[in-house]
Amino acid sequence: MLKNWRTLQPYLLVAPQTIVLLLFLVIPILTIVAVSFWEFNGYSMTPGFTLSNYQAIFASKVYLTTYLNTFKFVGLVWFFTILIAYPVAYFLAFHVKTLRWQVILFLVCTIPFLTSNIIRMISWIPFLGREGVINKSLMALHFTDKPVEMFLFSDFAVVLAMVHLYVLFMIGPIFNSMMRIDRMLVSAAEDAGASAFQIQKEVILPLSSSGIAIGTIFIVTLVMGEFATVRLMSGGQSSSIGYLIKNQIGSLQYPLAAANAVILLIITLMLVFAILRVVDIRKEL
Amino acid sequence: MKKRPLSFYFLSAFFGLFVLFLYGPFSAIFLLSLQGPEGQLTFPMRGFSFYWLASVFGQQRVGSFVEAFQRSLLLGLLVMVITVVISVSAGMAFRRRFIGSNFIFYLTISSLIVPSILISLGIGIVFSLLGIQSQWYSSALAGHLTWTIPFAFLIMLGVFNRFNPTYEEAARDLGAGDGKTFWEIVLPLIAPSLIGVALFGFTLSYDEFTRTSLISGEKNTLPLEIFGMTTNVTSPSLYALGTLTTAFSFLLIGVALIGIQFFSRRQSE
């Protein structure tokens, strides 16, 4: 009896989490897959098996451009988050000497990420708008004599806001893997006469690559399904798959939205598996 | 002490600019929400008053924020409690190897990797097929849990990895049962981390947008209410609301940090 209890114990303890995830993650996704094959006659859906939802997606040029636009956002946001996150993480891990200050400065980076995304998007309006700080300064410096429209409601604004929203998801993992780098390796490289650039290229970058990989996975999955930032910062002028799905649901085209969601999921998972093939992230956990 | 290399100053400056990038926009809406009644959405500030901050609490044309705030607060607290209980329990299970642990680990991670809109769409479809009305306290709660639980679970794995089991073994040797050992030894030792998990659980839910957006039912949570406002409100009341909710978030983070300090200090004594 007591022995049975010991073997059962982990299963009982892990049961609530498993049940929640099965009910609200696995079943919904299986339902999406099923519904993506259902028939849709313009106003209601009926169970069945048809490929017409997928055919509609693959046949349309609008979808293709939307997918390409989404990849563009993923690529740009990924590029800029690495560009910012790597030096920030390096500074925190190698130049800040005491653990206390590392924790404090890391918290300074983290706190904005615990506040509302929507508010953080809105807070760009005073800077980017027609009458915003950037336009006013450009005009004051006589770089331009009429306000530049491109700042707010543009792809530029979308990428800027996404970088602002998600950069921590890159900083965290890179910082984490840099903190695990044995400092002796850096000293050894220095003693062997390596230049600062060589140390970065041969020691720090390879050893933080798993952190970069985890950060990349976060960025890919966050940006792939985005619609709020795209909607708000582009003023509805730009599109993404997430935004498309959201609009299709708005007009109750569930099977079409489901088919799009399945394609989105497949692409996302392919990207994630590709990253996992290149870098072994299990040692980070 | 070694002389600091040039790169130190360069990177310090970069870090400073980054912090400015993070907090600059906040301070802008904070200042602009303190304008007089004739205030606009951009600088310069027109007058100074608490008019817009006060307006948040009044009746709005587009809905009532006080009610949306109450809903989000309650939802956040529910998500927080459920997340803490479930993740501590799962964390305890993962201290031992068991058949299927790998499967559950990857199941949990995949909840982070699936784009949020799929969760919203999927739960929405399941509810409508079952003929259940979507509500913030049912479908939206479910959507939030798929986001908070994996984070909490990863934190708990880290916590138990570093956990020293000798105290526990000592308690067992003295004849304490599983329950007593957990409540009197394990729980007090992990208390500081639990505050962190609770903070994460609450704030991730309180600010969640995508995983709520299609499944909140007819009554909006606060982020949805604010998002709705962005399309039709052109007064600083938008900023005032932003300032107040952000201040609330900062307050919570502050309280949580003090709590963590307090518990850690008590432990080290």
Q: How many domains does chain B have?
A: 1
Q: Where are the alpha helices (DSSP H) in B114-236?
A: 116-129, 141-161, 166-173, 178-181, 187-206, 210-213, 222-232
**Which range, of B40-49, B67-76, B194-203, averages the lowest pLDDT?**
B40-49
Is B158 domain-assigned? yes
Residue B44 is assigned to a structural domain of this protein? no
Q: How confident is the model at residue A218 (pLDDT cuts 50, 70, 90)?
A: very high
B233 vs A115 pLDDT, higher one: A115
Q: Give the one of B11, B32, B117 whose C-beta lies nearest to A95's C-beta.
A: B11
**Which residues share a beta bridge with A40?**
A45
Tokens encoding B176: 């304490």
Number of C-beta neighbours around residue A132 at 10 A: 22
Confirm or reject contact between A285 and chain B (CB < 8 A).
Answer: yes
Is residue B46 assigned to a domain? no
- Cα A139 to Cα A134, A150, A153: the distances in Å are 9, 14, 19
Residue B1's pLDDT band (boundaries 50, 70, 90)? very low
For position A2, what pLDDT does the model report?
59
Residue B7 lies in a domain: no
Contact criterion met (CB below 8 Å) for B19 and A108: yes
List A residues 219-278 in contact with B (Cβ-Cβ < 8 A): 221-222, 224-228, 232, 242, 245-246, 249, 254, 257-258, 261, 264-265, 268-269, 272
Task: Write down the pLDDT at residue B61.
Answer: 55
- The kind and range of the H/E element at A46 are strand A45-46
Write out the two tokens for A7: 């073997």
For B150, the domain range is 65-223+245-268
Taking CA–CA distances from A30, the nearest residue in chain B reads B122
**Cross-chain residue pair A123–B29, CB shorter than 8 Å:** yes
Name the CA dihedral angle for A226, A229, A235, A237, rounded to a multiple of 10 degrees: -30
In a domain, B20, yes or no: no
Question: d(Cα A147, Cα A125) in Å, to the nearest integer?
Answer: 14
Domain ranges for chain A: 64-284
Closest CA to B193 of B266, B268, B256: B256
Q: How far apart are CA A198 and CA B22, in angstroms?
A: 31
CB-count exposure of residue A175 (10 Å: 0-12, 13-18, 19+): buried
How far away is chain A from the Cα of B10, in angstroms, using its nearest Cα? 10
ipTM computed for the complex: 0.86
Answer yes or no: is B162 within a domain: yes
Write out pLDDT tens, residues B177-196.
888 888 888 888 888 889 98
Q: How confident is the model at residue B62 (pLDDT cuts 50, 70, 90)?
A: low
DSSP state of B63: B
Which position has the higher pLDDT, A143 or B121? B121
Is residue B236 in a domain? no
In this structure, is residue B173 part of a structural domain? yes
- Fold of the A64-284 domain: MetI-like fold (1.10.3720)
Q: Is A16 on the interface with B (CB under 8 A)?
A: yes
Q: In this structure, are residues B48 and B35 in contact, taking their beta carbons and an 8 Å threshold? A: yes
